[in-house]
Amino acid sequence: MQQTTQAQTQSTTWMTGSEALLRGLLDEGVDTVFGYPGGSALYIYDAMTHNKEFKHILTRHEQGAVHAADGYARSTGKVGVCIATSGPGATNLVTGIATAHMDSIPMVIITANVPTSLIGTDAFQEADIIAITMPITKHSYSVRDAADIPRILHEAFYLANSGRKGPVLIDIPKDISNAKLLYEPYKEEIQLRGYEPDPTVDIERIADWLSAIAEAERPLIIAGGGIVHSNASEELLRFVDRTQIPVVSTLHGLSGFPSGHPYAVGMAGHHGNYAANMAIQHADLIISLGSRFDDRLTMKVGGFAPQARRIVHIDIDPAEIDKIIKADISIIGDLKGILAFASKLAALSNTAGWMEQIRQYQSQHPLRYNDSDSELKPQYVLEMMHKASHGDAIISTDVGQHQMWTAQFYKFNQPRSLLSSGGLGTMGFGFPAAIGAQIGNPERLVISVNGDGGMQMCAQEMAICAVHQIPVKIVVLNNRVLGMVRQQQELMYENRLSQIDLAGSPDFVLLAEAYGIKGLRASTKEEADAAWKEALDTPGPVLVEFVIPMDENVYPMVLGGTALDEMILGEFE
């Protein structure tokens, strides 16, 4: 072993790459890692046996691990971490990495690989995970010297959680994970060539933006996910209170601005409410805060905001500017600082007439549904959940109709309260993400809202809820069909229904009980009220299956290729 001085041994320690990895994660403040072992990762997992500080949750599928790390990150604002072995273990993470990439979620993904001598030989369980994931990661590292692990780990956390946040992958060959190094925490200031996570804001452009507000009669803020990512909810609230500009939200922006605020108009876009969509179409000034103008918001780009004389786009990522909607004024920078600065200079806007127009839109076509005493409507379930939790729960959704009903009928009070795969639209995301959120927020009520389709893509993770008594309340809105696909086939494919029947699905109550979790079922309002009360009164995890109509649709809906003011309103047309 290399000779060291006494001073060195007091501040540093000889250890393996695996031990350095675990120590480094602890030095970065990581309190939980989600993962699944395998041959190439065994030195890493062996190091866990004598590191009692290190907390690892063994999921039942690598996809469960990556989604749980994602939910942890979304709900806490910290970096989520997951570990998988080489080959199939690593490739099973791909969908979750893409999910995080599309939604700008800070994560560090650690994959083991075959020994360096076997890389490139098509060895057992070898896959070039860096090449596979390059388009869906913010950065990737292939470790070739164990001594680099402390630096790489520190850089990875910095990259993941600065600028436009995103997933960073670290791939560690098996021999590197067992090689010796002299460990010392990496504390040097990080400066990466070409990387400017916090660009200098052009003050003159802020002045131009504020001048545009002063000239506008119908200004409108679009609050995107960037409000949440930058922890700018309080700054947005102060800016709106000062300017009295109404706010519409994207799906990811919903929890960034309180739903009950008098200037909150609600979600806009594909399944946005009537008032929000009409506000966009009639605004003369659009102010996009941390929204990338994705297709589910804009719909027909040529028909988006036709009356807007000016469009302001504020974002941390310059690549988003003019990508879809051309901006008249663009500001690159962190929303938290920009809004704080702008609030000191902004003046009160005369929006009384504009707000009256928006209220007329709200009264003309409010969010509503045909309630029933014989059937249990999904909208009723979401309203019931909101009432019981006072809008203070963390809600994690899967993808489909239930996702949109949640966005429409659950009203969010706090930032980081809605966890949903918006960009990639990943079925199977909701339940593991809720597990990660519950671990990151042990004192909060966490509700996982799923359809019967998506629940079957991740149901095996009920095992870890049972083993660790993770008290997620698991909701299954069971309509016995792929509901969103059925709705689109009905409306856009002349009701030619193809491959949507989920007959043969398990009895979800019995499935929960098989995992050791209490299961409840409701098919009427009275049963729903009683079951939900019992679920909330029961310590630990509970699954509640709500049996809902097969043919219930989500409205409003804007069809592809049409503008936001061409909404289908269903029975309330």
Per-residue pLDDT reduced to its tens digit, 327-349: 999 999 999 999 999 999 999 99
Are 249 and 174 in a shared domain? no
- Counting residues of the chain whose pLDDT is more than 70, the rounded percentage is 98
Q: What is the pLDDT of residue 261?
A: 96
Whether 216 shows a pLDDT value over 90: the answer reads yes
491: closest CA among 418, 419, 554, 565? 554
Q: pLDDT of 181-200, one tens digit each?
A: 999 988 888 989 889 998 89
Chosen domain end from 124, 150, 183: 183
Q: What is the pLDDT of residue 189?
A: 87
> Residue 573's pLDDT band (boundaries 50, 70, 90)?
confident
Are 398 and 454 in a shared domain? yes
CATH label of the domain that carries residue 37: 3.40.50.970
pLDDT, mean of residues 479-486: 97
Chosen domain end from 364, 394, 417: 364
Give the list of residues 6+ apart from residue 49 with CB closer than 8 angstroms, or none: none
Write the DSSP symbol of residue 59.
-
CATH label of the domain that carries residue 343: 3.40.50.1220
Whether 157 shows a pLDDT value over 50: the answer reads yes
Checking DSSP bridges between strand 310-315 and strand 329-332, what pairing results, if any?
parallel
> Residue 8's pLDDT band (boundaries 50, 70, 90)?
very low
Q: Give the burial string for 425-449 (b: 16+ CB within 10 Å, else e).
A: bbbbbbbbbbbbbbbbbeebbbbbb
pLDDT, mean of residues 51-62: 96
- The verdict on residue 4 lying in a domain is no
Whether 3 shows a pLDDT value over 60: the answer reads no
Q: pTM score > 0.85 for this model?
A: yes
Are 348 and 392 in a shared domain? no
Q: What is the pLDDT of residue 187?
A: 83
pLDDT, mean of residues 261-284: 98
Are 166 and 69 in a shared domain? yes
> Residue 5's pLDDT band (boundaries 50, 70, 90)?
very low
- The verdict on residue 1 lying in a domain is no
Are 384 and 287 in a shared domain? no
- The verdict on residue 188 lying in a domain is no
Whether 305 shows a pLDDT value over 50: the answer reads yes
- The verdict on residue 192 lying in a domain is no
> Residue 7's pLDDT band (boundaries 50, 70, 90)?
very low
Q: What is the pLDDT of residue 188?
A: 86
The average confidence (pLDDT) of the chain is: 96
- The verdict on residue 573 lying in a domain is no
Terminal Cα-to-Cα distance of the chain (whole angstroms) = 79
Are 345 and 400 in a shared domain? no
Whether 10 shows a pLDDT value over 70: the answer reads no
Spatial separation of the C-alpha atoms in residues 288 and 296, rounded to whole Å: 15
Are 19 and 161 in a shared domain? yes
Q: What is the pLDDT of residue 265?
A: 98
Are 359 and 382 in a shared domain? no
Q: What is the pLDDT of residue 9?
A: 39
93: closest CA among 103, 102, 82? 82
Q: What is the pLDDT of residue 380?
A: 98
- The verdict on residue 341 lying in a domain is yes
Q: What is the pLDDT of residue 191?
A: 87
Domain that holds residue 349: 203-364
- Counting residues of the chain whose pLDDT is more than 90, the rounded percentage is 95
Spatial separation of the C-alpha atoms in residues 398 and 396, rounded to whole Å: 7
- The verdict on residue 560 lying in a domain is no
**Dihedral (Cα; 449, 138, 102, 332), 10-degree rounding:** 120
556 prior amide bond cis, ω within 30: yes
- The verdict on residue 488 lying in a domain is yes
Q: What is the pLDDT of residue 4?
A: 41
**Residues with catalytic roles:** 62, 124-125, 174, 484
- The answer to whether the beta carbons of residues 512 and 488 sit under 8 Å apart is no
Q: What is the pLDDT of residue 11?
A: 56
pLDDT, mean of residues 143-149: 97
Number of domains in the chain: 3
pLDDT, mean of residues 99-111: 98
Q: pLDDT of 409-442, one tens digit each?
A: 999 999 999 999 999 999 999 999 999 999 999 9
